[in-house]
Chain A
């Protein structure tokens, strides 16, 4: 995505007590996607009132990728047997996501590299990306499961957002980063210098998240395709898709035709390399029947193949998979096991 040339226009002040009112004002004109409280976690979904927004949890359980690459996306409709196609209707109101954390913003650049590079541009993705407004929020304190520092993500930097909020005392300082962002905060007052200074101090004093040693991992991955470690690490993996479906960067999809009576639709839906069916060939052959082969694929794709092809690591250290894995198969532990492995099996 092209960067907006308007770099940091100004700083505005939003007292926390006015947050609901601020969201209600946005809702008059935009679709607002915000975290909503569930049973012990929050989930990004469209809200209808500012009061629904819940900021109790740092990261919602789902990532924002579903608003750019929906789990269930109609590419077009068709009539079976007839030569007629029609476009799926697009949403009328422009959407806003509030709040987006810097790890999730980085994840979007990874999706951009897949769906909007020099060679291929996916019109469905690009259109959603173009319409979306992102209101970011700084993380001054990481969660125990955060490891974004591993990927040099500055959790207080708003690059990629239209507006960026930093919590200072009982207010948010809003940095206006794009002209698109500027239209959202017309009624807000400028932030007082005193609080802007305070924000700078807080940003400088932010507590950084865990940083894992990735150089060793990537070095090891180049020579460990046949290592016995994969079997060991995957022994407890259930091969469900919780990790991949909650991951903000996992982007594999399937395309199928879905026909009901006279209406057919071409459907793009999420797929997942942890499922045995993911690699099932029409012949019946399956090159990845084992849990270990599938876990290896997921790790290799993120930390070896994707960096080779796109010069980006396809993980942002959000820790969603760490929290949600039903058997506590922790990707941080996988990475440290790989990093500390000095004797890879020969290929």
Chain B
């Protein structure tokens, strides 16, 4: 049996058991989609429905974004990849969901294939190609074997991001303007992000009104920059925002650049350690102060 099928088989068995034994009353997982290479979220409440669960290299959604809606379930089972678990750790640390309400079904993941790329053979998303968190940092059950994952070589560093970093500030601004010129303000990026949970986003506020409606470039830029800064030191680098974008905007350039800065300045990788406070929630006299004006 292929590795993916093995994982799917075990996932269904464990899910069925968890529901039958009332360990959880809901499992949020991936189900078969209506298009080739697409999966869709499923919400399973009966043991006999556990066979609706699927696992394959198209499971691109971060299901953690559904957790806060599920107020009526007392104990929730959730299927997470390494990156998804990082955002889950973030939510627990920010006291948005209680660890006690969760039964985390972690899956060892070797990357999700980019459905947008047209070439053969299919390649993983850029965020997956450079991912080092193949095993979820937090789980109750782990499915899959970490030994099957090939470790990344240093030469596999993110070339596109490195090229973006190498630009001058003015050139970088231009590159972002170019990307965001396609933005239609549908907010799919924000809504797909588990860490964008503000009850009222600043872009939706009318009193005061921070940005205009419409598509003026400066309004669009403000939205994306504020979102990136608001997730600095919190972003689990899952790439859900970029995958949700209907206009193919490379949001990663901004979000992963900020993540890389946080890693360099504060030696922190968000969402790995449940005990360590988020880098930008604390202050230490040893912090790098070079960015202070």
Query: Measuring CB to CB, which residues of chain A are less than 8 angstroms from any residue of chain B?
Result: 38-41, 43, 61-62, 71-73, 144-145, 235-236, 238-242, 244-246, 254, 256, 258, 267, 269, 271-272, 275-277, 291, 322-324, 326-330, 332-333
Known interface pairs A61-B247, A326-B61, A333-B34. Does A238 touch B191 (Cβ–Cβ under 8 Å)? yes
Partner of B246, one of A61, A72, A144, A329: A61
Chain A residues closer than 8 Å to B118, beta-carbon distance:
40
> Closest residue to B246 on the A side, CB-wise?
A324
Q: Which of B40, B41, B212, B246 contacts A242, CB < 8 Å?
A: B246
Q: Are B212 and A43 in contact (CB under 8 A)?
A: no
1/0 contact string of B185-217 vs chain A (CB within 8 Å): 111101110000000000010100000111110
Question: In whole angstroms, what is the CA distance A71 to B186 when docked?
Answer: 11
Is A254 a contact of B213 with CB atoms below 8 Å? yes
Q: Is the CB–CB distance between B186 and A245 below 8 Å? A: yes
User: Are B35 and A71 in touch, CB under 8 angstroms?
Assistant: no
State A39–B251 Cα separation when bound (angstroms): 13
Asked if B266 is at the interface (CB within 8 A of a chain A CB), the reply is no
A238 engages B212 (CB within 8 Å): no
Q: How far is the CB of B60 from chain A (nearest CB, A)?
A: 9
Number of B residues near A (Cβ < 8 Å) is 37
B186 touches A240 (CB 8 A): yes
Contact B182 A38 (CB under 8 A): yes
Kindly state the separation between the CA atoms of A235 and B61 in the bound complex, as whole angstroms: 14
B36 to nearest A CB, angstroms?
8
Tell me the B46-67 residues at the A interface (CB within 8 Å): 61, 65-66
If A242-B186, A328-B34 touch, whether A43 touches B215 (CB-CB below 8 Å) is no
New A-B contacts (20) at CB < 8 Å, excluding given A39-B248, A330-B40: A40-B118, A41-B116, A61-B247, A72-B213, A240-B187, A240-B188, A240-B191, A245-B185, A246-B246, A254-B213, A258-B214, A267-B212, A271-B213, A272-B186, A291-B69, A323-B35, A326-B191, A326-B243, A326-B246, A328-B33
Q: Kindly identify which residue among B41, B184, B212, B247 contacts A327, using a CB–CB cutoff of 8 Å.
A: B41
Q: Is B9 in contact with chain A by the CB < 8 A criterion? A: no
Closest 4 CB pairs of A and B: A72-B214, A326-B244, A40-B116, A241-B186
Chain B nearest CB from A247 CB (Å) reads: 11
Q: How far is the CB of A81 from chain B (nearest CB, A)?
A: 18
